[in-house]
Amino acid sequence: MLGTISLLATISAIPIFMIIINIYSEGLRYVSLSFLIDFPPPPIGGKAGGIGPALAGSLILMSLALMIGGCIGFFTGLYLSEFSHTKLAQYTQLFLQIMVEFPTIIIGLFAYSILVVPLKRFNAFAGAFALSVVIIPYIALNVREAYKSIPYSLKEAAFSLGISHPKAYLRVLLSAARRGVLTALLIGMAKAAGETAPLLFTILGTSFSYFEGLDKPINAIPLLIYNFALSPYERWHQVAWGASAILLSIILAIFVISRIVVKEVKI
Amino acid sequence: MTWAIEVNNLNVWYGDKHILKNISFKIPKNIIFAIMGPSGCGKSTLLRAMNRLLELNPHARVEGQVRIDGIDVYNDNVDITWVRRQFGMVFQIPNPFPHLSIYENVALGPKLNGLVKNKSQLDELVKQALEQAYLWDEVKNDLKKPASMLSGGQQQRLCIARALALKPKIVLMDEPTANLDPVASSKIEELMLELKENYTIIIVTHNPQQAARISDYVAFLYMGELIEIGETSMVFTRPRHELTEKYVVGRMG
């Protein structure tokens, strides 16, 4: 019995190693410094090219999503934890738990209808907005856990100092919950880095220019992979493999950082 | 005579549960006042009703008055953060902020409340509070180290220093020695006797011997009711109520 369970557990972990090996063995050979900076190659002829605009676009979209979704998600999570007895908190939590399960392509369509259609143009902000909506529930629910995990006696200690709610939560207790909060933000970042569906209808994925403004199209690595992998050109397939290796590296780096952060938890 | 604290018809409910029933008493300044009683009698709730820390619990409801220097802390015009600053509070489990240094644990309250103008004033205040808590000599070379490295007894004295750094009028102690060994406990008791020169101390204890050893006034609380209050020597030698007698001779715990 135990043997069977152990075997199954091992089997379930196999895909991650196969994915990592597969992506790196196919993709790493195309990665170089110029690959990170250059424009994509033309389908035929010319230089090897790179994913510069998409990488920059991904970083911009991640930062924006983290700024918008991080702020909203953090304060929502704090509210859910500390005012959990209110009806508002109970319903908000329920809705966020539903939103976690939402197909992200629907969120992309929503952003398309309210931010792309009125502007009559695909734009970076619509993508950042869609990503924010995707990551808010993850961040909020994890920040809630982080604040919930603070021992009650520490909360009493903080408030016994005669300080206001904002000071207690942000200047005393935040540092007690900082690892959980940081992990929440990192999870949000990883999510924002890897999502493709929210970007399909929002940013277009222009690969031949760097950032031109929030109201203009932009590219992101997952979308570039999607577009290039579907193309009929071998050169573009190679770029897609290289981009996959970069994307995987970003996600793994975020994961490693969050593990280091969590490991230090002592309270 | 001005009283350190006057409690009038104080009632507390948690939801529908009536926890404290018509509590009234007043105590003079610069004494140690012990509130004793069996577990669950409402001692800790009474303490938290005084500095309004009870309001962290959304299900708690309070009626009645608690006056310090004649001001009712439940008056609508009174700011809750002001109320809490009038009291320094020490808890049952030593609860220094584990992620902060020894220095920061004491400095945090004065800093966030703007009690000091500059770093040197803050340093002086931290030193003073640690000295008052009998901790300075043990930690003066380790101020930057995390509070979590201290022993339980030292952590509790650090919490006392943290409370004193707010320059409170009254120090509330919720079974401060319940989780300490006898040596560390007696050190805290000695410290309390020293502190009453400058502060009024209200201590909650489930240990009648401790109340007898250190307090000047004592109250016996039983199932949310104030059974008896008076000078400690009187209550212990000639209790007026049968329940009090049972409790102080140890036939009820």
Q: Are B162 and B94 in contact (CB under 8 A)?
A: no
- How big is chain B, counted in residues? 253
Residue B189 CA to chain centroid, in angstroms? 13
Q: Which residues of chain B does A162 touch, with a Cβ-Cβ cutoff of 8 Å?
A: 81-86, 109, 113, 166
Record the tokens describing residue A116, joined without a space: 């792309």
Residue A46 has pLDDT above 90, yes or no: no
Residue B187 has pLDDT above 60, yes or no: yes
Pairing of strands B17-27, B5-14: antiparallel
The Cα–Cα gap between A98 and A166 comes to 29
Give me the architecture of the A48-263 domain, per CATH: Orthogonal Bundle (1.10)
Instruction: Report whether pLDDT(A260) > 90.
Output: no
The pLDDT of A172-201, averaged and rounded, is 92
b/e sequence B188-211, b meaning 16+ C-beta within 10 Å: bbebbeebbeebbbbbbbbebebb
CA distance B43 to A140: 37
Q: Collapsing DSSP states into helix, strand and coil, what is residue A204?
A: strand
Question: Which of A150, A160, A175, A266 should we substitute to test contact with B (largest number of B Cβ atoms within 10 Å)?
Answer: A160
pLDDT digits (tens, 9 = 90+) for B94-118: 999 988 999 999 999 999 999 999 9
| pLDDT the model gives residue A267 | 39
Among residues A87, A91, A78, A95, the alpha carbon closest in space to that of A140 is found at A78
Q: What is the pLDDT of residue A153?
A: 93
- All residues of chain A having their beta carbon less than 8 Å from the beta carbon of residue B97 are 154, 157-158, 172, 175-176
Closest C-alpha among A115, A117, A138, A142 to residue A128: A115
ipTM of the complex: 0.93
B250 Rama class: left (phi>0) / alpha (psi -120 to 50) / beta: left
Q: Does A28 touch chain B (CB under 8 A)?
A: no
A264 — pLDDT class (breaks 50, 70, 90): low
pLDDT tens figures, B132-162: 999 999 999 999 999 999 999 999 999 999 9
Search chain B and give the residue with CA nearest A265.
B99
Three-state secondary structure string covering chain B:
CCCCEEEEEEEEEECCEEEEEEEEEEECCCCEEEEECCCCCCHHHHHHHHCCHHHHCCCEEEEEEEEECCEECCCCCCCHHHHHHHEEEECCCCCCCCCCEHHHHHHHHHHHCCCCCCHHHHHHHHHHHHHHCCCHHHHCCCCCCEHHHCCHHHHHHHHHHHHHCCCCCEEEEECCCCCCCHHHHHHHHHHHHHHCCCCEEEEEECCHHHHHHHCCEEEEEECCEEEEEEEHHHHHHCCCCHHHHHHHCCCCC
Domain covering B5-99+163-248 assigned CATH 3.40.50.300 in the classification: yes
Q: What is the pLDDT of residue A213?
A: 85
Residue pLDDT, tens place only, A11-43: 988 999 999 999 999 999 999 999 999 999 988
Q: Please judge whether A175 and B99 are an interchain contact, meaning their C-beta atoms are less than 8 angstroms apart.
A: yes
Strands B170-174 and B200-205, how do they pair? parallel
Is the pLDDT score of A266 beyond 70? no
A157, A159, A163: residue with CB nearest B97: A157
Neighbour order of strands in the sheet with B71-72: B17-27, B5-14, B60-68, B71-72
**Residue B68 vs residues A164, B145, B146, B167: alpha-carbon distances, Å:** 21, 37, 35, 15
Q: What angle do CA A35, A36, A38 make, to 5 degrees?
A: 65
* pLDDT value of residue A265: 47
